[in-house]
Amino acid sequence: MNVVQIVGCALDSGAGRGIRAVHEALLTAGVRSRIVGRVERDLPKELYARRVSLLQRLPVGIKNRFYKWNFTRRFGEIPANFHPISHGLGLHNSPEYRRADVIHVQWAHAPTLGPAFWRAIGSEKRPVIWTLRDMWPFTGGCHFSGRCEKYASGCGQCPLLGGGYETITSNDLVFKAEHYGPQSVFVGISNTIAEQARKSAVLRERDIYIIPNSVQMSHLCAMDKAQARSALGLPAKKFVIATGALNLADPRKGADIMRHLLNVYREDKNVHWCLFGNGLAELVDPVPENCTSFGLLRDDVILNQIYSAADVFVMPSLQESFGKVTVEAMACGTPVIGLVKTPAEEIISHGQTGWLAKHGDADAVMAAVETARALPVPLLRNFGLRARAAVIDRYSPEAIAHLYIDLYESLLSGNQA
């Protein structure tokens, strides 16, 4: 079976790591999986991942810069994660695409998938799978919609474009709907994003499968807490709370909740924060003395140590398609505090492997932290043991790869059970 994975991000990014892990598991299982797209250079040959050449990327990049400049001129500054379909790469002309039995769009965004690619997809007779890693495939240009639900009615009058009359976002949705074609099927990486897709104007009539994101479990183990803290230079006797995100100051990632918690515990000499990600100085000023920040991390060993060193991990994100750090922390034997109405509900068993707090409620998150602090150490460790047991097999790349193999085979046989 030949499968081409269309990828619009680096394989060492958050989404990219999940894609790579499943791709490697597919290769091990005997599937001829091939990656093509905006991946980084110098990847191992045996990974079968091809970066689109600079000659192809350069003119597309220039056109998209002018496209974004024109947007800014008309509507003012807009978020970096907003981009309706404009100019993309000709991935449908690649040998990997032409040889494939199954076309799998693993992460979609405008600078990768241009109109020519969409027209090719619209006329495909081969199965086309779209993994919904965010909302872009069913919105008028945003990867996460925040509180806006205009994607359910067809977009238009976009708040990001001033809320006035505009047809850019509504036309974007119409174009997507016209070009998905009968061979396109959709996979949400959580029930949360699958439900959003089912509510959308574009995918309301489509079947949405659910196959969770994968987490590379071989990099994660439940280290001895004392050893992990010693390796990181963290205090041995304090209650350690960990959290992390690409950008800690991002409102979608729960910046207001984290700002509140950091200020509340600023003078608590029995609490120590262990943080990773950009934006700490923007999040809280001055940074509390009881904080150790590791910045943006690419080191799996240090990340494993952070998860293992913590007594509890706080996941304050307001909107996610999956929430990989939740699973990573649990795989390291650390209970997690997450929010209801997010994918954390699907991963955390409240009162067993962690705690679920009211959505957007900083005081409710703080109450969950205090619940964890009040537990005797042996009971808190039991939470961690149950957390690891709950995720270690369920989200492994091997388990997720086999779910995709079942889907590939069912689509090729015409039996979409």
User: pLDDT digits over 201-252, tens only?
Assistant: 999 999 899 999 999 998 899 999 999 999 999 999 999 999 999 999 999 9
Q: Which residue has tokens 């003119």?
A: 59
Q: Given a cut of 60, is residue 399 above it in pLDDT?
A: yes
Q: How far apart are CA 321 and CA 50, in angstroms?
A: 26
Q: Report the chain's mean pLDDT, rounded to a whole number.
A: 94
CATH of 2-214+397-413, one of 3.30.465.10, 3.40.50.300, 3.40.50.2000, 3.40.640.10: 3.40.50.2000
Q: Rounded mean pLDDT of 329-341? A: 97
Residue 415 is predicted with a pLDDT of: 64
Share of the chain above pLDDT 90, in %: 88
Q: Rounded mean pLDDT of 243-264? A: 96
Q: How far apart are CA 110 and CA 83, in angstroms?
A: 6
Residue 372 is predicted with a pLDDT of: 98
Q: Given a cut of 90, is residue 140 above it in pLDDT?
A: yes
Residue 127 is predicted with a pLDDT of: 96
Q: Given a cut of 70, is residue 417 above it in pLDDT?
A: no
Residue 49 is predicted with a pLDDT of: 96
Convert the pLDDT of each residue in 69-95 to its tens digit: 998 898 888 888 899 999 999 999 999
Q: Given a cut of 80, is residue 144 above it in pLDDT?
A: yes
Convert the pLDDT of each residue in 284-320 to its tens digit: 999 999 999 999 988 899 999 999 999 999 999 999 9
Residue 195 is predicted with a pLDDT of: 96
Q: Rounded mean pLDDT of 132-136? A: 96
For the chain, the first-to-last Cα distance in angstroms comes to: 19
Describe the strand order of the beta sheet including 239-247 as a list of residue ranges. Answer: 291-293, 271-278, 239-247, 312-314, 336-339, 354-357
pLDDT-derived band at 43 (thresholds 50, 70, 90) equals: very high
Residue 14 is predicted with a pLDDT of: 83
Residue 165 is predicted with a pLDDT of: 83
pTM for this model (two decimals) = 0.92
Share of the chain above pLDDT 70, in %: 99
Residue 389 is predicted with a pLDDT of: 97
Residue 95 is predicted with a pLDDT of: 96
Residue 366 is predicted with a pLDDT of: 98
Per CATH, 2-214+397-413 and 217-391 having the same topology is answered yes
Q: Given a cut of 60, is residue 416 above it in pLDDT?
A: no
User: Under CATH, which architecture does the 217-391 domain have?
Assistant: 3-Layer(aba) Sandwich (3.40)
Residue 266 is predicted with a pLDDT of: 94
pLDDT-derived band at 51 (thresholds 50, 70, 90) equals: very high
Residue 330 is predicted with a pLDDT of: 98
Q: Rounded mean pLDDT of 170-191? A: 95
CB 97 within 8 A of CB 91: yes
**Domain positions in the chain:** 2-214+397-413, 217-391
Residue 166 is predicted with a pLDDT of: 85
Cα–Cα nearest to 151, from 185, 193, 208, 105: 193
Radius of gyration of the chain (CA): 22
